[in-house]
Amino acid sequence: MIGNGKDEPLDGMLVTADGLVVCGTGVGSPGVAVGELVFQTGMVGYQEALTDPSYAGQLLIFTYPLVGNYGVSSVADQSSRIHPRGVIVRDLMQSGGHRDSGCDLDTMLRDQGIPGLAGVDTRMLTRRVRTQGVVPAALAANAAGHLPPVEELQSMAASLDYDAIDFVAECSTNTLAWHPPARPDAPHVALIDYGAKNGILARLIERGAGVWLVPASFSADEVLALEPDGVLLSNGPGDPSRLAYAVNTVRGLLEQARVPMFGICLGHQLLALAVGGRTSKMPFGHRGINQPVLDVRTRRVSITTQNHGYTVDPDTLPNDYLVTHTNLNDGTIEGIAHLSRPVWGVQWHPEAYPGPADTQALFDNFLSATEVSHT
């Protein structure tokens, strides 16, 4: 690792496991990152995306060509650190002097040890992922003449088995944390942290709830010992089908408790697995802030924020669960619910951060159900 990314220009290179080589300018921290190559279509919200734990283990392409143009602000962070292993942009901009900006994006990447690649054709890369699916890749940034050989980077990319890694274990809190309610009679929620965005916690707290932030490793008995009035299963990274411990906890909660349960993104997928459904990997997933979702009961369409690469298989759900929402772009499942119990999940992020606030009422519905349980 040579240079500090600020005192001297860096070269950059991306090499995929199947041999594509893309050269550009290195940004952020000098180094090499290996991850699953994915793209995100939001025109804003680059900092929220970078600090979203659901991007753990990935190399993130921003399709919008100008990234970093309003700087970096601590209030936008969705966790304590950047989770993608590397970042790819067309043009990395200096901060435009936004009043809330504390530094520029290049500084944020460098300070957290994240290499990036700029000055490349992100449209070409995005089209390639859309047509050929996500692929392992290696990204290198270093001083001129000090990049690793192409063959070495390709070998590193080919050795990655993204689906075999438990990224939830890397992202979840290790300790139980309590956030007191706004009033003594407010419901208490157990938020199981599979990589929860700060926005989910904020939406619950701003509605007055007391919130236990629960490690993903907790068993059903440990969660129930908190005597929650409701359980929220958070978003998170990776393949849900390899998270047997999380599925077992959700299944135990469904069997032992009658409190409302609400799953978001990965939490929605774990709920489906816990009741006997299956999940499968999507070709390139949904990652952006403009995904149209249809409520099949009301026929109302909402625009949503999404970040996932797996989907619930529609023909595997038991008869006591129904599909409540579908994606208007590809027809995939976006929501499920039990026919009679207050148990449901959605594939998108109703908390947004960033994105539209069309479906934030889902938090109101959940907390209304927990208040019934609380009384």
Q: Which of 142, 162, 109, 121 is nearest to 21 (CA)?
A: 121
**Contact residues for 244 (Cβ-Cβ < 8 A; gap 6+):** none
Let me know if 255 is a catalytic residue: no
Q: Which residues does residue 13 pair with via DSSP β-bridges, in sequence order?
A: 23, 140
- The H or E element containing residue 368 is helix 361-374
Q: Which of 176, 168, 354, 173 is nearest to 266 (CA)?
A: 168
Backbone angles phi, psi at 149, to 5 degrees: -60, 150
Structure tokens at 354: 């960033």
Q: How far is CA 43 from the centre of its chain?
A: 17
Structure tokens at 139: 């990204």
d(CA 193, CA 159): 29
Let me know if 349 is a catalytic residue: yes
Cβ 179 vs Cβ 211: under 8 Å:
yes
Decide: helix, strand or coil at residue 188: strand
pLDDT of residue 7: 63
Determine which one of 83, 188, 286, 349 is catalytic: 349
**Could you tell me the pTM of the whole model?**
0.95
Determine which one of 36, 265, 325, 334 is catalytic: 265
Q: What is the chain's pLDDT, residue by residue, as a tens digit (375 residues)?
A: 233 445 678 999 999 999 999 999 999 999 999 999 999 999 999 999 999 999 999 999 999 999 999 999 989 999 999 999 999 999 999 887 788 899 999 999 999 999 999 999 999 999 999 999 999 999 999 999 999 999 999 999 999 999 999 999 999 999 999 999 999 999 999 999 999 999 999 999 999 999 999 999 999 999 999 999 999 999 999 999 999 999 999 999 999 999 999 999 999 999 999 999 999 999 999 999 999 999 999 999 999 999 999 999 999 999 999 999 999 999 999 999 999 999 999 999 999 999 999 999 999 999 999 987 665
The strand pair at 10-16 and 135-143 is best described as antiparallel
pLDDT of residue 5: 44
Amino acid at 220: A
Beta strands of the chain (E only): which ranges? 10-16, 21-28, 31-40, 58-62, 66-67, 86-88, 91-92, 115-118, 135-143, 177-179, 188-193, 210-215, 230-233, 261-264, 279-295, 301-312, 321-327, 333-338, 343-346
Let me know if 171 is a catalytic residue: no
pLDDT of residue 94: 87
Domains of the chain: 10-163 (3.50.30.20), 168-374 (3.40.50.880)
d(CA 292, CA 157): 33
The strand pair at 279-295 and 301-312 is best described as antiparallel
CB burial of residue 76 (10 Å; 0-12, 13-18, 19+): buried
Structure tokens at 56: 């753990």
pLDDT of residue 2: 32
pLDDT of residue 28: 98
d(CA 233, CA 260): 11
DSSP 317: S
